[in-house]
Every structure is written in C-alpha cells, then in structure tokens.
C-alpha cells in the first residue's frame, strides 16, 4: 500500500519541479529578452546620435566651404578688378583711391587667414599667454579705440558704464582681441541709432564680471550654442548682409578660457545681446589693494 503512494508522491514532486523549472526558465528567458531589447534600443539610440552628429558635421563643413569661398572671393575680386584698372593708366587723382581699395581688401583677407591660424594654434594648444599686470580700463580702451570710427559711421553709441578699478593679471593683447571681437559683433549686428554698453562688477567671490550689452538684432535661442562653435553663424552666406566667417566668438571664448575664465551669451531677438566675461579672482587685484602692495 505504501509503495504506490510513495511513487505517486514522487511523480507529483517531479511534476512540480519540472513546472518550476519551466517557469524559472521562462522567467530568465523573459529577463534576457528584456535586457537584449534594452541593449538593442540603446545601441540604436547611440547609432542615431552618431548619425545626427555626422550629419551636423557634414552640414557645418558644407556651410564652412560656402562661407569661406564667398568671403575669399569678394576681396579677391576687388584686388583683381582695381589692379586691372591701375594697369590702364588711370587719372593720377584716382590712383590713391584704387590703391586704398586694394589695401583694404588685402587686409581683410589677411585678417581672415589670421583668424583661421589663431584658432588652429589655440586648438593645438600652441598659443601661450604673455601675462602682465594691466588696468581693466586700459584693455577696454585699446579695444574701443580702433572701432570708434566704425561705430560712429553707423550711429551706434559705445557707452562705458561702471569700470571696476583693478589691475588684471592677463595677456593684454589677447584680452584686447577678445573685446575687439565682441565689440565688432555688437557694432555689426546693431542697427543705426542703437547702443552698446560696457559694464563691469566684482562678485562676492572676487571674480570680475564684464558685460558687453547691445541693442541689436539678437540671436535666436536655438542658435546660441552653435554661434560659439567655429564657423557657426545664424545666417548663411546667401541671406547674410554682413561679412565674417564665424570665428570671432569661438576665438574670444577660447582666449577667455585660457585665462581660466568663462564667456557666456544671453540674447533676445530684436531686443539685443549680452556677452558676459568672467575672470577668476586670482587674476584680479582691486586698485586700492594693488597700490598698497
């Protein structure tokens, strides 16, 4: 009597074990499937991201080539055209004017190539700072001076707000270049009658913040990151009314970073743009303290 019951119990246990085994197997298979699906999804996401990056890089390259070609052709055409006129023995009184156009176009080309070279040097880590103690006011004056005429011709006022009296430890030529780039943008993208204001302040941590604010056309939100990249511009060469190859902002940002600082952009379309440069406290000595020292 006990033997068959034992056999029956065993076969129930076997059944139970085999069902449990199947269940566990199914559970593992499901889990493995879910994990595989998640891996496949994240791989697809990565591939999509890489593809979008490659497409963006491709678009940036095409835009760069189109812009460069356009920006090189204009001054080159002027040089060829005016030098041809000079060969036809023009009236002596006309010669200085033609020579001036040729000189301006040549300088424009040189400026462009210098920009490309500067950026290449910065990216290769080959640019070094020649640090000196210099007053903030001096750096700002050196940047405003060569641009005052262009601002006046466009009836754009350049106003100095508060200038912190301090000595800065920096490379004066490179920091002047930063403000030349920012101010020439502000003049270029601000319509007649607009204004530019330069302000500065010390934060509670002793960092120096310098603002260049204009009342110009502004930059759409979706372009704020792109214009800081090399050759990034809001408008392309077909719609653009102003010259430039899109290196001013990335060079300015890289030079500020070399000083341990930050360059940030805030803008509203048709209201204006504010560029903020902040320099770390370690580079700033308030003038009174500097005089005592």
Ligand X SMILES: Nc1ncnc2c1ncn2[C@@H]1O[C@H](COP(=O)(O)OP(=O)(O)O)[C@@H](O)[C@H]1O
- Positions touching ligand X (CB under 6 A) are 181, 185-186, 189, 214, 216-219, 227, 233-234, 244-250, 273
From the list Mg ion, ligand X, none, pick the one residue 115 interacts with, judged by a Cβ distance below 5 to 8 Å according to partner type: none
**190 sits near Mg ion (criterion: CB under 5 A):** no
Contacting residues for 205 by C-beta, under 8 A, at least 6 apart: 281
Near Mg ion by CB under 5 A, which window of 96-104, 178-186, 200-208, 221-229? 178-186
Near Mg ion by CB under 5 A, which window of 209-217, 240-248, 257-265, 281-289? 240-248
**185 sits near Mg ion (criterion: CB under 5 A):** yes
Q: Which is nearer to ligand X, 171 or 214 (CB)?
A: 214
Q: Which is nearer to ligand X, 165 or 197 (CB)?
A: 197
Contact 210, 175 (CB under 8 A): no
Q: Which is nearer to Mg ion, 250 or 261 (CB)?
A: 250
Least distance to Mg ion, CB of residue 188, Å: 7
Least distance to ligand X, CB of residue 118, Å: 12
Cross-strand bridge partners of residue 166: 286
From the list Mg ion, ligand X, none, pick the one residue 174 interacts with, judged by a Cβ distance below 5 to 8 Å according to partner type: none
Least distance to Mg ion, CB of residue 82, Å: 26
From the list ligand X, Mg ion, none, pick the one residue 67 interacts with, judged by a Cβ distance below 5 to 8 Å according to partner type: none
| Residue facing Mg ion at closest CB distance | 248
**248 sits near Mg ion (criterion: CB under 5 A):** yes
Q: Which is nearer to ligand X, 105 or 181 (CB)?
A: 181
Q: For the range 98-104, what are the long-range contacts, defined as Cβ-Cβ under 8 Å and sequence gap of 24 or more?
A: 102/78, 104/75, 104/78
**CA distances, 74 to each of 103, 195, 230 (Å):** 14, 29, 21
The Cα–Cα gap between 150 and 281 comes to 34
Least distance to ligand X, CB of residue 161, Å: 17
From the list ligand X, Mg ion, none, pick the one residue 214 interacts with, judged by a Cβ distance below 5 to 8 Å according to partner type: ligand X
**215 sits near Mg ion (criterion: CB under 5 A):** no
Least distance to Mg ion, CB of residue 162, Å: 26
DSSP element (H, E) containing 198: strand 195-202
Q: Alpha helix locations (H) across 88-221?
A: 95-123, 136-144, 148-153, 172-188
Nearest to 208 by CA among 274, 259, 144, 132: 259
Least distance to Mg ion, CB of residue 78, Å: 20
Burial grade of 140 (CB within 10 A; 0-12, 13-18, 19 or more) = buried
Neighbours of 198 (CB within 10 A): 22
The Cα–Cα gap between 172 and 255 comes to 11
The Cα–Cα gap between 174 and 127 comes to 10
DSSP element (H, E) containing 232: none
**267 sits near Mg ion (criterion: CB under 5 A):** no
Least distance to ligand X, CB of residue 52, Å: 22
Residues lying near Mg ion in the complex (CB under 5 A): 185, 244, 248
């Amino acid at each position: 009597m006990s033997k068959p019951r034992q056999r029956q119990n065993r076969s129930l246990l076997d059944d139970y074990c085999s069902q449990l085994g199947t269940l566990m197997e199914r559970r593992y298979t499901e889990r493995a499937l879910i994990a595989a699906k998640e891996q496949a999804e994240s791989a697809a996401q990565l591939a999509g991201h890489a593809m979008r990056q490659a497409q963006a890089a491709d678009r940036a390259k095409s835009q760069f080539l189109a812009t460069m070609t356009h920006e090189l052709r204009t001054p080159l055409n002027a040089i060829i055209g005016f030098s041809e006129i000079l060969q036809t023995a023009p009236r002596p009184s006309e010669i200085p004017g033609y020579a001036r156009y040729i000189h301006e176009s040549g300088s424009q080309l040189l400026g462009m190539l210098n920009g490309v070279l500067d950026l290449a040097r910065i990216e290769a880590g080959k640019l070094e700072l020649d640090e000196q103690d210099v007053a903030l006011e001096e750096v700002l004056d050196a940047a405003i001076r060569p641009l005052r005429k262009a601002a006046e011709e466009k009836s754009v006022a350049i106003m100095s707000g508060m200038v912190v009296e301090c000595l800065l430890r920096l490379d004066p030529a490179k920091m002047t270049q930063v403000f030349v780039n920012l101010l020439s943008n502000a003049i270029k993208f601000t319509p007649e009658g607009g204004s530019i204001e330069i302000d500065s302040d010390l934060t509670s941590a002793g960092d120096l913040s310098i603002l260049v604010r204009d009342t110009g056309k502004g930059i759409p939100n979706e372009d704020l990151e792109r214009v800081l990249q090399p050759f990034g511009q809001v408008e392309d060469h077909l719609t653009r009314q102003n010259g430039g190859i899109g290196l001013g902002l990335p060079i300015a940002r890289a030079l500020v970073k070399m000083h341990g600082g930050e360059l940030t952009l805030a803008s509203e379309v048709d209201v204006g743009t504010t560029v903020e440069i902040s320099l770390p406290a370690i580079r700033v000595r308030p003038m009174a303290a500097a005089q005592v020292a």
